[in-house]
Structure 1
């Protein structure tokens, strides 16, 4: 797990390691030190960007007194940092990436430390134990030892006072570790009782509840569900001062344990909020866990009680002992927030993918007919996602939590798990299972693009306010583009289905007037106030960075492929430079990565991302022998979106500058009649429309009924489809084959024999494992 480097310029040894308790030649451990932080010798922390490391979960922070650690290291070793040999400029040294191991270990950008002023016969070891992938053994298990091989007795005794200081700091920090005790004994009241227990080391604590959860860019003000906050210490209440809508200051006595108690209403079912009923509980930590400012990098534990014995707990947190018995641990607050918890008597299944357990948990019925197919398809999706990035699987274990409801749809990515919401009605449609697999692929691919390879703006995560970045189009748009290709490259869906889905997305884009109003960069920056706050007029003024980002990714991929490269090549380059070491990238970094592959791409990328020009979709699709053509019969343009409802034919959308807008129609209007004939279905409204010929509508709006004329515009196609051009030449066909085949990823799924369990619609899977 570690690497060993001898510093030839000095008789002492420079140590270079990756994780806690790494093994090195000769059985000698390592000291892992952040050499550029304010206190440079933090145990078990080493990275080129210390501020970045403190907020990531790759190297686990230890509950020790860092000031004591610094004094110890400086006093004994007189450490001074030097750049790793061979590292150009400020770039991190390239190292091999371990695929998986028992302990959580990640290759990081490192600094090598030179141990000076020590006799050549002396070597030192500081070994940190107790923090492994299987769980934390507790803060007191972090033992520190200085072990000289050959050292005069006086020099050995000189280290004792510093080791004593270190031990005292460790014990103090251990008592300060936050522990959350969650009681679910009142599910019919939808209430979670929380007790946050710790021993403060200062006279004042500042508490804060997050306003949002990473991956969902909307201020949700979780504090609105919090109630009855009180702090007790030594059988008395501590004074609480409210500093803001979600922040409090607590006066307390240092060194005395205290308990912070409050309740949280868990009433909203979504992938980003907490929900508890008599059937199940879904706990979103961002809505439940108060943050203790200053302790974010300490180890956090959580225990659960009050739930029925028949229930099981499903989470990506590490099992570990807690002050209240068995529970779960997180190496820092960020990690805790990134691990939702599902409880219930749910069926679950573990699917092995290249030695990595992938656990599947479902709440709600509807997926049972598809489980046999899912057992075959899920490993393919996982392997294909990793192949796109050119890496092994990056999680040592992964959890899928699925909520099946009547009409749900969505997902939220996490580092080692995802939560999916999907509707039974969707699954019942012919394309429902295919789109479900695309959702699975989307959230799974976020392990790379979004969680480990992420914008610099999210480093650190500011839970209190909006974080603006222009790169959400890359995080979500590229992932949306890839999520349709992964099932295709995995040999699960056909090229015809892929082109059908892509054509529908292009149709939605062309039917969104907001593409002429909002740039892709602005769509990313304004996600907090627009995309996640949509109304019935949103399509007139904004464009989704998911949708346009997907189509820009298509153009980038086709452009690069026509020049001998590809979008996966750029993703792999970014992964090696940023994702591999979990360093955030800037918007300029993204552009440089694309331009490095093809310099002529620079003005095009700027136009597509920062401009309002129409995307040249037809031109680029022609390069691969595809043609975008109108689908269905043209209809006179009215600019109205209609749907049937129990109350009648409802207007759900009115496009800006359309005949419907000129007629004064508004969303939520009910169309009662057209030319004195009753309306109940959209087909009845569209039948017999002619361009330029007025029609008379009877409208119900609130408690009023009135009539108005509407003059349809020119004939208009609302949908498009992709078709293969018969006249495509050999080069175009070859480029299309390279784009749509999996061979470029090193995969051989297409045409490969597989077992044939029941497919998603009751049919058999073909020999290739594809739904036929």
Structure 2
């Protein structure tokens, strides 16, 4: 067994002290390595760069060592147990890293635990200690890792079956709010860290409905004995990362249910948070257990390429909000608004006409996770476009089989063939199972959806369900689509953000009037026709103009004041609006949205 020990060393300095003991090191000298990336987030993050101290001993004596590369340390040969101690700087406030201060501590194992090379398959024991000092006497601990000792929510000793499991149990410590609920007989815990006024009873009630929806989709029993939702609450945070029996989330305070909310109303911000929880929970099956062949096993030393992220992230993105309407938490029309926003997000930039969804998956390491100001014009999201591919695949399977088979059946088949067996899904495995369900070739569909930039036939597929798809121009520069708009004023073809000087151009869209006039992302617009502007009154000022008129725009690029003449026009009809037709959803539409029991 490999033994680990971790303790917040100096919370005010953001340092964890981490120790690993190897009873039987390799004869040629034990090597240790830190992962270069974390599963579920496809970018090289070089966690070893946060190791600020390294020492090795055996029998109480120092052991010589050398660093072989950016994340590997090699010890000299010794007899008997070796002990390595490192200090890790933890100031990454995200779901992917490690963070420690005087209010709380959080870490993913990938960021703090060294792998003992050659011993990765051995069981691991972890002693997690609280920081020293009376100020931390009230700290609690939450993790999905199986406990050996200590009280519930207390520090103690934990066990993982191997190194891969060890780094798949994130840990939160500090003073937090906690609650619990059951879903299909499985105990679930909810932990909220940070200041908030959330209605915990409602949150548990709503999460239970979502969890039961997903468990029943794949079939009972659930693949985990228990589950933990961990959320760090901040002023404006958002994000999530899946783990084998838990998820790490970040949200804004306004995203949580309020005790003053009407019991039957789901605010948009709360809906977004529930969708995030739903997304990460669905990953319990899709990614954590149903994996691409390329990820079986993970190679955490370097990039691992697959075309299948459209399925693992895209299909998950499709089901996250679909589960909300199927669980009765939101109305069908509310779901269609969210779906319309997804369609708009794909269509709004020209990236969807330049990159296929499989290319996006392959380029995740260098493009999707390293987006710049030109990203909407250059790339397509395998999350958003993948969700639309999943929608089209679902409705196409229903059409081809007379509503007898659907993406639900495909997910259950993936679970039986690959999730339960531990086998990886081949690059064309999803297509093969879809064709098995359809009883015919679906090559034309997959060629269009995965390997071309041509639009998906969503309007036709939705029409037979009683849903109309319409397109409109942006009503303002922050318009995300999804809902009808009364009119379409002139538009510069940009997205703007707050800046101390005015309105900063966050994105300049291809073919837009601003780009045609020479404006670029990063420019700070300070005046429109000689009148001072900012992000809040930008659209109001433009509303006074008509298409075809010219406007003088003053903007700073770096420290240079520049002048541009922009020919105003109504924006491209690139935003989608979905609505139920007057006759209502068809029987097929009701079945799709889970409205018929």
TM-score by length of 2: 0.90
Q: Which of 287, 304, 315 is equivalent to 2:128?
A: 304
Q: Following the alignment from structure 2 to structure 1, what is the Cα–Cα distance between the partners of residues 431 and 541?
A: 48
- Is residue 634–residue 717 contact of structure 1 (8 Å, CA) maintained in 2? no
Q: Following the alignment from structure 1 to structure 2, what is the Cα–Cα distance between the partners of residues 494 and 704?
A: 51
Say which SS state the counterpart of residue 212 (structure 1) adopts: coil
Q: Following the alignment from structure 2 to structure 1, what is the Cα–Cα distance between the partners of residues 368 and 541?
A: 30
Say which SS state the counterpart of residue 269 (structure 1) adopts: coil
- Is residue 358–residue 450 contact of structure 2 (8 Å, CA) maintained in 1? yes
Q: Following the alignment from structure 2 to structure 1, what is the Cα–Cα distance between the partners of residues 288 and 221?
A: 16
Say which SS state the counterpart of residue 515 (structure 1) adopts: helix
1:28-77 Cα offsets, whole Å, 9 max, x none, are xxxxxxxxxxxxxxxxxxxxxxxxxxxxxxxxxxxxxxxxxxxxxxxxxx
Per mean C-alpha deviation after superposition, the further-off stretch among 473-482 and 196-205 is 196-205
1:262 aligns with 2:262: no
Instruction: Tell me by how many angstroms 1:375 deviates.
Output: 2.6
Match of 2:427 in 1: 587
Say which SS state the counterpart of residue 440 (structure 1) adopts: helix
1:695-742 Cα offsets, whole Å, 9 max, x none, are 1111112211121111234553453311122367xxx71111111125
Say which SS state the counterpart of residue 277 (structure 2) adopts: helix
- Is residue 337–residue 578 contact of structure 2 (8 Å, CA) maintained in 1? yes
Instruction: Tell me by how many angstroms 1:688 deviates.
Output: 2.9
Q: Following the alignment from structure 2 to structure 1, what is the Cα–Cα distance between the partners of residues 250 and 202?
A: 19
Instruction: Tell me by how many angstroms 1:223 deviates.
Output: 1.0
Per mean C-alpha deviation after superposition, the further-off stretch among 643-652 and 554-563 is 643-652
Match of 1:456 in 2: 293
Instruction: Tell me by how many angstroms 1:311 deviates.
Output: 1.3
Where in structure 2 are the equivalents of 1:67-146 lying within 5 Å?
A: none
Match of 1:757 in 2: none
- Is residue 191–residue 265 contact of structure 1 (8 Å, CA) maintained in 2? yes
Q: Following the alignment from structure 1 to structure 2, what is the Cα–Cα distance between the partners of residues 472 and 265?
A: 31
1:737 aligns with 2:590: yes
Match of 2:33 in 1: 208
Where in structure 2 are the equivalents of 1:563-602 lying within 5 Å?
A: 563=401, 564=403, 565-598=405-438, 599-602=440-443
- Is residue 526–residue 554 contact of structure 2 (8 Å, CA) maintained in 1? yes
Match of 1:677 in 2: 531
- Is residue 232–residue 259 contact of structure 1 (8 Å, CA) maintained in 2? yes
Match of 2:306 in 1: 469
Match of 2:4 in 1: 180
1:642 aligns with 2:493: no
Q: Which of 528, 531, 542 is equivalent to 1:686?
A: 542
Match of 1:294 in 2: 118
Where in structure 2 are the equivalents of 1:194-343 lying within 5 Å?
A: 194-199=18-23, 200-254=25-79, 256-307=80-131, 308-320=136-148, 326-343=156-173
Match of 1:539 in 2: 376
Instruction: Tell me by how many angstroms 1:660 deviates.
Output: 1.4
1:503 aligns with 2:372: no
Instruction: Tell me by how many angstroms 1:489 deviates.
Output: 0.9
Q: Following the alignment from structure 2 to structure 1, what is the Cα–Cα distance between the partners of residues 529 and 208?
A: 57
Match of 1:664 in 2: 518
Say which SS state the counterpart of residue 281 (structure 1) adopts: strand
Match of 2:478 in 1: none
Q: Following the alignment from structure 1 to structure 2, what is the Cα–Cα distance between the partners of residues 531 and 719?
A: 22
Aligned residues: 561
Match of 2:223 in 1: 394
1:96-125 Cα offsets, whole Å, 9 max, x none, are xxxxxxxxxxxxxxxxxxxxxxxxxxxxxx
- Is residue 18–residue 85 contact of structure 2 (8 Å, CA) maintained in 1? yes
Q: Following the alignment from structure 2 to structure 1, what is the Cα–Cα distance between the partners of residues 193 and 95?
A: 13
1:362 aligns with 2:195: no
- Is residue 691–residue 715 contact of structure 1 (8 Å, CA) maintained in 2? no
Per mean C-alpha deviation after superposition, the further-off stretch among 215-224 and 179-188 is 179-188
Instruction: Tell me by how many angstroms 1:638 deviates.
Output: 2.7
Q: Following the alignment from structure 2 to structure 1, what is the Cα–Cα distance between the partners of residues 450 and 40?
A: 21
Q: Following the alignment from structure 1 to structure 2, what is the Cα–Cα distance between the partners of residues 669 and 477?
A: 33
- Is residue 185–residue 305 contact of structure 1 (8 Å, CA) maintained in 2? no
Match of 1:434 in 2: 271
Say which SS state the counterpart of residue 87 (structure 2) adopts: strand
Q: Which of 697, 714, 718 is equivalent to 2:553?
A: 697
Instruction: Tell me by how many angstroms 1:401 deviates.
Output: 0.6
Match of 2:481 in 1: none
Instruction: Tell me by how many angstroms 1:466 deviates.
Output: 0.6
- Is residue 636–residue 716 contact of structure 1 (8 Å, CA) maintained in 2? no
1:605 aligns with 2:446: yes
Say which SS state the counterpart of residue 586 (structure 2) adopts: helix
Give the gaps of 5 or more residues in structure 2.
259-265, 473-483
Instruction: Tell me by how many angstroms 1:326 deviates.
Output: 4.6
Q: Following the alignment from structure 1 to structure 2, what is the Cα–Cα distance between the partners of residues 686 and 571?
A: 48
- Is residue 316–residue 339 contact of structure 1 (8 Å, CA) maintained in 2? yes
Q: Following the alignment from structure 1 to structure 2, what is the Cα–Cα distance between the partners of residues 715 and 445?
A: 37
Q: Following the alignment from structure 1 to structure 2, what is the Cα–Cα distance between the partners of residues 321 and 253?
A: 32
Per mean C-alpha deviation after superposition, the further-off stretch among 439-448 and 179-188 is 179-188
Q: Which of 718, 721, 724 is equivalent to 2:577?
A: 721
Q: Following the alignment from structure 2 to structure 1, what is the Cα–Cα distance between the partners of residues 514 and 89?
A: 43
Q: Following the alignment from structure 1 to structure 2, what is the Cα–Cα distance between the partners of residues 185 and 462?
A: 30
Per mean C-alpha deviation after superposition, the further-off stretch among 581-590 and 285-294 is 581-590
Q: Following the alignment from structure 2 to structure 1, what is the Cα–Cα distance between the partners of residues 119 and 595?
A: 47
Instruction: Tell me by how many angstroms 1:692 deviates.
Output: 3.0
Per mean C-alpha deviation after superposition, the further-off stretch among 194-203 and 258-267 is 194-203
Instruction: Tell me by how many angstroms 1:404 deviates.
Output: 0.6
- State the structure with more CA Rg: 1
Instruction: Tell me by how many angstroms 1:287 deviates.
Output: 0.6
Instruction: Tell me by how many angstroms 1:634 deviates.
Output: 2.1
Give the gaps of 5 or more residues in structure 1.
1-176, 749-772
Q: Following the alignment from structure 1 to structure 2, what is the Cα–Cα distance between the partners of residues 695 and 321?
A: 70
Match of 2:204 in 1: 375
Question: Do the aligned partners of residues 261 and 638 (structure 1) sit closer, same or farther apart at CA in structure 2, a change above 3 Å counting?
Answer: same
Q: CA RMSD in A?
A: 1.9
1:580-616 Cα offsets, whole Å, 9 max, x none, are 2121111221110111222253211221111111122
Instruction: Tell me by how many angstroms 1:201 deviates.
Output: 4.4
Q: Following the alignment from structure 2 to structure 1, what is the Cα–Cα distance between the partners of residues 96 and 123?
A: 23
Q: Which of 181, 191, 198 is equivalent to 1:351?
A: 181
1:667-687 Cα offsets, whole Å, 9 max, x none, are 121111112122222213422
Instruction: Tell me by how many angstroms 1:361 deviates.
Output: 0.8
Q: Following the alignment from structure 1 to structure 2, what is the Cα–Cα distance between the partners of residues 236 and 369?
A: 52
Match of 2:235 in 1: 406
Q: Which of 351, 355, 359 is equivalent to 1:514?
A: 351
